[in-house]
Amino acid sequence: MDKSFNAFKMAQTQFDAIADKLNMNEASRELLRNPMREYHFNIPVKMDDGNSKVFRGFRIQHNDALGPCKGGIRFHPQETVDTVRALSMWMTWKTSVVDIPLGGGKGGVICDPHNLSAREQEQICRGWVRQLHQNVGPLRDIPAPDVMTNGQHMLWMLDEYETLTGAKYPGMITGKPVGMGGSLARTEATGYGVIFTVREALREMKINIENTSASFQGFGNVSQYAIELYTQLGGKVLCVSCWDQKDQKSYAFYKKDGIVLADLLKITDRFGGIDKVKALELGYEVLPGDKWIEVECDILVPSALENQITAETVNKISKKVKLIAEGANGPTTPEADIVLKERNIFMIPDFLCNAGGVTCSYFEQVQCNMNYFWSKDEVLGKLDYKMTTAYHKVSKLAREKKLYMRDAAYMISVDRVVRASVARGWI
Amino acid sequence: MSALLGNKGKTMKIGKKFERETSFFNNDFTYLGTGLPGGKASGLAKTQEILSKYFPDGQIAGMQVNIPHTTVLLSSVFEDFMKNNDLYNIALSDTSNEDIAHSFVSASFGGLYAGDLYSLIENITKPLAIRSSSICEDSLHEPFAGVYETKMVANNQSDRTEKYNALINAIKYVYASLFFQQSKNYFRTINRDVREEKMAVIIQEVVGDQHGDFFHPVISGVLKSYNFYPSDKIEPEAGFAALAYGLGKTIVDGSNCWSYCPYYPRTPQPFNNIKDLLNNTQKEYWTINLGTINHYNPVAETEYLIHDSIFDILDRSILKHVCSTYDHSNDRLIMGIHSGGAPVLDFAPILRAETLPLNRVITEIMQACETETNSKLEIEFAISLGTEKDPLPRFGFLQLRPINISNEMVDLPEIEKNSDELLLSSQNVMGNGICTEIFDIIFIRPETFDIHHTAQIAADIAELNEIFYSNKRKYLLIGFGRWGTSDPWCGIPVQWPQISNAKAIVETVLPSMKADFSQGAHFFHNMTAHNVLYFSVDDDEAKDLDWNWIQEQKTINETKFVKHVRLQGNLQILVDGRQSKGFIFKHGAKK
């Protein structure tokens, strides 16, 4: 990752532009430019070797005018508080753009789970909750899995929360395993949501999805399910890139006739890393990780980390590309956005495109609060409906006001949050 | 079968791809997915072409004529559902129908279709019928009538999610019915592998009117352009219609309904007397329950249906087009609704007084469809009376399919009525041709026959049929009452695969069991499609049936109610379909 890149500055720049477009007053700008609350704390953990180690944790609550904060918890060695601040702001816009009654938050711990035992990870999870249990929960702030956290981490956190509060609150956290308060289809939700918006965009562009090809950055949960649905709809994926834990660098896996998801899944580790030797045996070209962006295809789906389509890399994008669907948070810098606008490449912005995850998390919370769980088709039916409705709302505004899609999405979501804040008498 | 409907093996040509923004009720005919539409949907697509060509203003004689709003889930939806949920293992296993259905209901449509189906249900509050549309019906030229299940859903819940769940569970149930035992048996009967089948599903608005908590058409009907049982003065080509009050399940299940020739609607049915008529007209009807559903059962075809008595209808004015009233004191029928007497569903107001132009409509439609397809046809339809907002009555076209007619010329010999060579004769025979391959008779034993045990009799026959199936032998089947009825009090409630190796069937009478065959029934359609020769033996003819000879033959198998005998020589069966007459000669006596 580019060390000079500051995600929070980028999020603020994007917000400022929208605030100008909305002619927002100063108080509103002040309220929304920065998080409402931040929690920074230490998590001391007794390691397996008997030594103690202190990990740094965060929880940022950007805005809760529309409802309790919602956002993931990331375990990442390069985590910075500014990244978490940016992501919490994007969560506010994300919950707002799909019109669910939640605010935006994000949390993280600076750590590398690859180098931690399960017991050590559990201690980090429990320590995180011990620091925050009075400030999170079903009525305040609902965490969820994010980068390198999963359902097991959520269950440890829930268990610690319920121990501390002395009651059962399955809606305290989402992303739990099915059968333990988790929702069916949560695993698929983000990836499917990405493709629901791609499907609608192509329909509007009058492009038959069966005649399209795509390149994906990342091969984690989002990409895997996005690729599944995209190929079910008839699209062809030419390239996926992923992080190789052993080599500490990324690779791109290319196949001219289209990748076979089932084959790749068989040679993929639990972090989404593809075995490059076996991939070569299966006939894949193994290329440097940043080559995914140069693939001659119709659709690019950056679904890994932020800051991937930059002023520098944007010029590597093939002339054939017509659509970018941001499966990851913040993969495109404002400078790159300018180039993409000029090139007339249709953009489905991150906080709309990947909102399937938070929408399903919201469904999970609703189910937990009712203690009544829905069928997979019920979840997927509602998810598709919600995502499609949100997409068309943004797309309609973009068409009517001749706006870039990201700007239209921001205008809708920021406007909703401002209205809620005004209604509450905050500004 | 639908080859002559012009859509064999092809994707949908008619209709538009389902778009969420235009919704179910803004287009008459839409489809979801890719692949094939199946026989039933192809028939409807063809029908829409015909209706647009012949009746462009959508009306005949002041009656709206159209296809109910329909969305077809093409075969790819089924294929994706089966593949993505890995259902073939349980589907092809020997587990019970219920277990298969539950497995299907628990499976998911996934990201491909769940959203479209959730959107489809938006803004629809009318009941829906979820019907199968078999791909094999197209490709194998087999009828598949009644092999798969149809499910009606009330679709009136205030919560959209409940409606959605009911809809998708119904679709999954219809998919599951492909792998029910009756279906597997059917495929075995036609020497095909059930895995060849891919099912499309039709989601269709139910044509009908609301009456309190009930919803049903005032008339359901089946119309055939060829009458397999023509009476003396009526040609087979004059056709045949069967009418029932309520949902068409009454007709296709083979229960009592009203049959007549569309060219002679005023001709009375051949009942001996009023009592006979009262006993053999429809008394119960099927309706969709719009009220509280007390028994959640997604794997039951009748989850949202009620089978009710016409005598329990409080507001009998809704029967004004379809019934007469029995005047007990004068032992006569008075057309229409009158106080003090029981309603009798003889459809006299429509057929005699033309309170609705039904007969004109079906005659014109049949002519148009025959001309366009150059084939004899069967049509299913439903009639609703309209509302204050939309007062025109409506003829809803539900299904169009061709029927098989054998053209073999058979000359019947002159024969003495009580000839020793004759096993039986009948003036009421369905089918056409000569059969000399039969050495076996399965018959219901007249000496032990008991109407209370017709279900057991059906089971006994099914077991014997299994043996014949394994040995690849055909047999003559003789029994009492209506074959293939779902009502065990009317006859023997066998399903088609349970008697699939019968080459010829005799329906004879006993004092305790007299019932006419229902030509609208699915069972009947399967028999005509498979060229089974069907002898209906009346009181007079029954006297000449040589039971003694049958009983003297060598017994191979017997139960309390059923016996299988093997003959020393082959039977010779002759049927002249043009005259609807036939003979069965004892072991090939007549050369």
Q: What's the token pair of residue A214?
A: 């795509």
Task: Check residue B530 and report its DSSP letter.
Answer: T
Q: Cα-flanking dihedrals φ and ψ of residue A52, to 5°?
A: -100, 145
Least confident stretch, B347-351, B362-366, B525-529: B525-529
Chain A within 8 Å of B161 (Cβ-Cβ)? Answer: yes
Strands of the A141-145 sheet, one edge to the other: A37-46, A52-63, A103-109, A69-75, A141-145
Q: Please classify residue B329 by burial: count the beta carbons closer than 10 Å to its beta carbon, then call 0-12 exposed, 13-18 middle and 19+ buried.
A: exposed
Query: What's the rounded Cα separation, in Å, for the pair B452 and A59?
Result: 75
Q: How far apart are CA B373 and CA B1, in angstroms?
A: 12
| Residue B377 near residue B369 (C-beta atoms within 8 A) | yes
CA B533 vs CA B191, B429, B431, B442, B586: distances in Å = 20, 7, 5, 15, 16
8 Å CB contact between A285 and A253: yes
pLDDT at B5 over 60: no
Lowest mean pLDDT among B53-62, B138-147, B388-397, B487-496: B138-147
Q: Which residue in B80, B119, B165 is closest to A385 by CB distance?
A: B119
* Per-residue model confidence (pLDDT) at position B6: 42
Residues of A in Cβ contact (< 8 Å) with B116: 384
Q: What are phi and psi of B492, to 5 degrees?
A: -100, 115
For B73-115, the pLDDT digits (tens) are: 999 999 999 999 999 999 999 999 999 999 999 999 989 999 9
B2-206 CATH fold: Dna Ligase; domain 1 (3.30.1490)
B110 near A CB under 8 A: yes
Contact A381 B110 (CB under 8 A): no
How high is the pLDDT of residue B512? 62
Q: Which pTM value belongs to this model?
A: 0.81
Q: What is the pLDDT along chain A (427 residues), one digit of tens a residue?
A: 455 678 899 889 989 999 999 999 999 999 999 999 999 999 999 999 999 999 999 999 999 999 999 999 999 998 899 999 999 999 999 999 999 999 999 999 999 998 999 999 999 999 999 999 999 999 999 999 888 898 999 999 999 999 999 999 999 999 999 999 999 999 999 999 999 999 999 999 999 999 999 999 999 989 999 999 999 999 999 999 999 988 989 999 999 999 999 999 999 987 789 999 999 999 999 999 999 999 999 999 999 887 899 999 999 999 999 999 999 988 999 899 999 999 999 999 999 999 999 999 999 999 999 999 999 999 999 999 999 999 999 999 999 999 999 999 999 999 999 999 999 999 9
Distance CA A352, CA A93 (A): 9
Angstrom distance (rounded) from CA A259 to CA A263: 8
**Residue B3: per-residue pLDDT:** 38
Query: Which residues of A are known to be catalytic?
Result: 106
**Is B118 within 8 Å of A381 when comparing Cβ atoms?**
yes
- Best interface-test mutation with B: which of A377, A386, A392 has the largest number of B CBs within 10 A? A377
Output the pLDDT for position B516: 62
Q: Measure Cα distances from B364 to A51, A266, B243, B358, B383 in Å.
A: 92, 62, 17, 10, 16
Q: Which residues of B touch A388 (CB under 8 A)?
A: 20, 115, 119
Whether residue B114 and residue A195 make contact (CB cut-off 8 A), yes or no, is: no
Contact B109 A377 (CB under 8 A): yes
From the CA of B119, how many Å to the nearest CA of chain A? Answer: 7
Residue carrying the six token digits 């040589």: B546
Which residues on B lie below 8 Å from A381 (Cβ)? Answer: 114-115, 117-118, 164, 168
Candidates A188, A192, A384; nearest CB to B118: A384
Verify whether the Cβ–Cβ distance A232 to B117 is below 8 Å.
Answer: no
Q: What is the per-residue pLDDT for B543?
A: 76
DSSP string, B276-316: HHHHHS--EEEEEE-S---S--TT-TTTTEEEEEGGG-S-G
B-chain residue closest to A210, CA distance: B34
Nearest-angstrom CA–CA distance, A401 and A265: 43
Could you say which of B80, B108, B119 has the minimum Cβ distance to residue A377? B108
Burial of B354-379, coded b for 16+ CB within 10 Å and e otherwise, reads ebbbbbbbbbbbbebbbebbebbbbb
User: How would residue B51 be classed by pLDDT, with cut points 50, 70 and 90?
Assistant: very high
Gap between the Cα atoms of A229 and A199, Å rounded = 10
Which of B80, B114, B168 is opposite residue A384, by nearest beta carbon? B114
Domains of chain A and any CATH numbers: 35-182 (3.40.50.10860), 187-353 (3.40.50.720)
Q: Are the beta carbons of A380 and B117 separated by less than 8 Å?
A: no
Percentage helix, strand, coil, to 5, in chain B?
Answer: 30, 25, 45
Cβ pair A59, A418 in contact under 8 A: no
Cβ <8 Å between A383 and B110: no
- Give yes or no for a contact between B195 and B88, defined as CB atoms under 8 angstroms apart: yes
Report the pLDDT averaged over residues B14-31: 77
Give B294's contacts (C-beta < 8 A, 6+ positions apart): none
- Measure the CA–CA gap between A323 and A214, rounded to whole angstroms: 9
d(CA A324, CA B407): 65
How does DSSP classify residue A113?
Answer: G
The conformation of residue A111, written as its DSSP 8-state character, comes to: -
B434 or A15: which leads in pLDDT = A15
Structure tokens at A67: 């409802």
With CA atoms as reference, report the closest residue to B512 among B449, B444, B424, B459. B449
pLDDT at B143: 66
| Mean pLDDT score, B455-463 | 93
- Chain A residue numbers with beta carbons less than 8 Å from the beta carbon of B114 are 377, 380-381, 383-384
Average pLDDT over residues B390-416: 80
DSSP state, B237? G
Whether the Cβ atoms of residue B153 and residue B92 lie closer than 8 Å to each other: no
Q: Which of B84, B106, B115 sits opposite A381 (nearest CB)?
A: B115
> Across A416-420, B332-336, B587-591, which has the greatest mean pLDDT?
A416-420
Q: Sign of the CA dihedral B436, B441, B446, B450?
A: negative
Q: Collapsing DSSP states into helix, strand and coil, what is residue A69?
A: strand
Structure-token pair, residue B64: 């709206």
DSSP states of A185-221 = THHHHHHHHHHHHHHHHHHHTT--GGG-EEEEE--SH
DSSP string covering B202-231, please?
Answer: EEEEPP-EEETTEEE-SEEEEEESS-SS--
Q: Residue B409: pLDDT above 70?
A: no
Percent of chain B with pLDDT over 70: 90
Domain boundaries, chain B: 2-206, 214-351, 422-588
The DSSP output letter for B33 is: S
Report the pLDDT averaged over residues B155-173: 92
Residue B239: count other Cβ atoms within 10 Å of its Cβ.
25
Q: Please state the rounded mean pLDDT for residues B390-408.
A: 82
B165:A378 CB<8 A: yes
Give residue A3's pLDDT.
Answer: 57
Q: Which of B522, B529, B435, B422 is nearest to B474 (CA)?
A: B435
Is B108's CB within 8 Å of A376's CB?
A: yes
Mean pLDDT over each residue of chain B, to the nearest integer: 85
Angle subtended at Cα B24 by Cα B21 and Cα B30, rounded to the nearest 5 degrees: 95
What is the four-CA torsion angle of A356, A357, A358, A362, rounded to 10 degrees?
Answer: 90
- pLDDT at A79 (0 to 100): 87
**Each residue's pLDDT tens digit, B262-275:** 888 888 776 777 88
CA distance B485 to A313: 73
Cβ atoms of residues B129 and B305 within 8 Å: no
Q: Which one has a higher pLDDT value, A393 or B435?
A: A393
pLDDT at B527 over 50: yes
Count residue pairs from A and B with Cβ separation < 8 A. Answer: 63
Distance CA B158, CA B562 (A): 52
**Helical spans, DSSP H, in A115-176:** 118-132, 151-165
Q: ipTM beyond 0.90?
A: no
Q: Does residue B385 carry a pLDDT above 50?
A: yes
